Structure 1
Amino acid sequence: MKATEIERKFLVRNDGWRRCAGISQVLQQAYLSRDENAVRVRVIDGRSACLTIKFRTSGLAKDEFEYEIPVEEARELLLHASGRVIEKTRYRVLHDGRNWDVDVFAGAYEGLTLAEIEMASEDDLPTLPQWLGREVTGNKRYSNRAMAAASHKPSLHVWAAEDGGALRL
């Protein structure tokens, strides 16, 4: 199914979001290509899976095509990852009538927590929760794709210092 994705991404300053957290999902995801367009496979809670293809259009917008696939096939595709498999738990957090996704990373990126909000348009101005840190929309080092492609384990201590301690290690 085709959709247009417009989102903003932020570092998370503290655990204040947890009191409003709803459902969570454990995600394993990997990228199957390193070209400009992204092909991602994702396993959700070990029970469902999807294949997503993203094309950057303009500004914050991306065309996104997502297809449900069998979990067994997704697990096999993870073995063909171009780079590392990203592991994280995603929490749905309601703030001011809007749903935020808060990703708590595990594995190589343990200690990193990011929040994203999907918007109807680039002009959308959601109310920002106090638990947010610095906005990192467009900062490639915080994109899942770039993290998956990193050739070495990242130094989150350096990131924490650069980002004013927003990363809890």
Structure 2
Amino acid sequence: MIEIERKFLVTSETFKNEAQKSTLIKQGFLNTDPARTVRIRIKGKYAFITVKGIGNTSGTSRFEWEKEIDVSEAEQLMPLCEKGIIEKIRYEIPLGNHTYEVDEFFGENKGLIIAEIELDNENETFLKPDWLEKEVTGDRRYYNSQLSKKPYKTW
């Protein structure tokens, strides 16, 4: 259950023209300790509890365990989360053998747009659309758990 992903800033909203799906996401964190982040997420009509471990030195790989839960359970857990609920729209954009997940943030993180791509291994090659900008893989400021505590608008 190792997640391998890379993150990039996004230069424009042209990615929206390529999106095949978009979903509203609301998420909170029961624990933001990097060694054991615990997230509650409501994604459209579904909800999940996710546990993530600390990343490797590059920030590309880390342990991730996720289980679907009832939306009503997630709604009951949300008030127990630490301060700083994240709200965003996730756009799914297929490109080559991969799908980019592009998150457009709202609230205190408005103005931030991050693209993620999950890979099978850290050295895997992948296509990069022209709307990708600087890579921020491993930069903890862009982790959702950190954005909940220190929002983008405060930087």
TM-score, length-scaled by structure 2: 0.91
For these two proteins, the number of residue pairs brought into alignment is 152
Matches of residues 63-142 of structure 1 in structure 2 within 5 Å?
Answer: 63-142=63-142
* TM-aligned CA distance change 1:57 to 1:85, over 3 Å: closer
Unaligned runs of 5+ in 1: 159-169
Pairs within 5 Å for 1:145-160: 145-150=145-150, 154-155=152-153
Shift of 1:57: 5.4
Q: Which residue of 1 aligns with 2:50?
A: 52
In structure 2, the partner of 1:163 is none
SS at match of 1:76: helix
What displacement does 1:139 show?
Answer: 0.9
**Distance (whole Å) between structure 2 residues aligned to residue 154 and residue 122 of structure 1:** 27
The SS at the match of 1:100 is: strand
On the 8 A contact 1:20/1:95 being kept in 2, the answer is no
Q: Which runs of 5+ in 2 are unaligned?
A: none
Q: Distance in 2 between matches of 1:134 and 1:52?
A: 27
Provide the C-alpha distance between the structure 2 equivalents of 1:62 and 1:68, rounded to a whole number of angstroms.
20
Alignment of 1:15-30 (within 5 A): 15-30=13-28
Conserved 8 A contact 1:50-1:68: yes
| Conserved? CA contact 2:110–2:152, under 8 Å | no
The reply on whether 1:41 has 2:43 as its aligned counterpart is: no
Measured on the aligned residues, the alpha-carbon RMSD in Å equals 1.6
Q: Distance in 1 between matches of 2:30 and 2:83?
A: 8
Structure 1 residue 97: Cα displacement: 3.6
- SS of aligned partner of 2:53: strand
Give the fraction of aligned pairs with identical amino acids, expressed as a percent. Answer: 35
Give TM-score, length-normalised by structure 1: 0.84
Distance 2:111 2:56 in 1: 31
Computing the radius of gyration from Cα coordinates, the structure with the larger value is 1
